[in-house]
Amino acid sequence: MVFLLTRRTQKFLPCLVNLRKVNRCLVTGKRCQLCHTAQASAADSPRGEETSYPLYPGHIPTSPLQKALLAAGSACMALYNPYRHDMVAVLGETTGYLALHNLRERMKKDPEGHRILQERPRIRLSTLDITGLQALPEGTFGREYVRFLDDNRVSPDTRMPTKFVDDEELAYVVQRYREVHDLMHTLLGMPTNMLGEVTVKWFEAVQTGLPMCVLGALFGPVRLNARVLLRFCPVCLLTDDFTQ
């Protein structure tokens, strides 16, 4: 997932969910338009520094103190109610700069990851060929992805837009991470219940190093009973083994 679902993911797909084929052409979208109007000003601003002007549509510039307060508040709310996706999103943005920077650098060193950063595809209903995905053979990644969306009544369009990342390119990396979250559920064969979410968070924590994922992986199991934990632990070990 370091390259956010590229060809490297295909190496362990059959081991996890017995999928036979990945059709990436049908799950990539058009070039993202997070912010091309502010690229010039963003390029002149040192990466990671506080800015007083928006760098992309929806961007809310914040000081380090404001980020710390947002991180603390969102962490408390996310632990209290893990289904508060807005709080989880804020926590990820306000604590993930170093991890996002590392992700971007690793993507730049990979030809396919570099291409993703250049073209900035989006995963949305408007960019997916749903009919084409539904027509794929049973067991293929595209077909299972559409089945996951239907069975769990979720949509890639519900992902929160990036707001608090003070770097236009890293803002896209965050958005890409969110939009492949449902692909991670499909990849791991996990539902959207608490067990499924915690399992996916363990996988994402190992792959991305995002503090938000690490916190979710560590504290999420508190809400699981002993019987579920016994079922959960082997999955975590299996996930870690395949990601080494």
Q: In this structure, what DSSP letter does residue 165 have?
A: -
Task: Note whether 141 and 11 are within 8 A (CB).
Answer: no
Distances in Å between the Cα of 158 and the Cα atoms of 23, 135, 155, 187, 191 are 23, 24, 6, 20, 17
Task: Note whether 174 and 92 are within 8 A (CB).
Answer: yes
Ligand-binding annotation for 181, yes or no, is: yes
139: left (phi over 0), alpha (psi -120 to 50) or beta: left
Ligand-binding annotation for 151, yes or no, is: no
Ligand-binding annotation for 197, yes or no, is: yes
Task: Work out the burial of residue 50: count CB atoms within 10 Å of its CB; fewer than 13 is exposed, 13-18 middle, 19 or more buried.
Answer: middle
Ligand-binding annotation for 179, yes or no, is: no
Binding residues for Zn(2+): 181-182, 185, 197
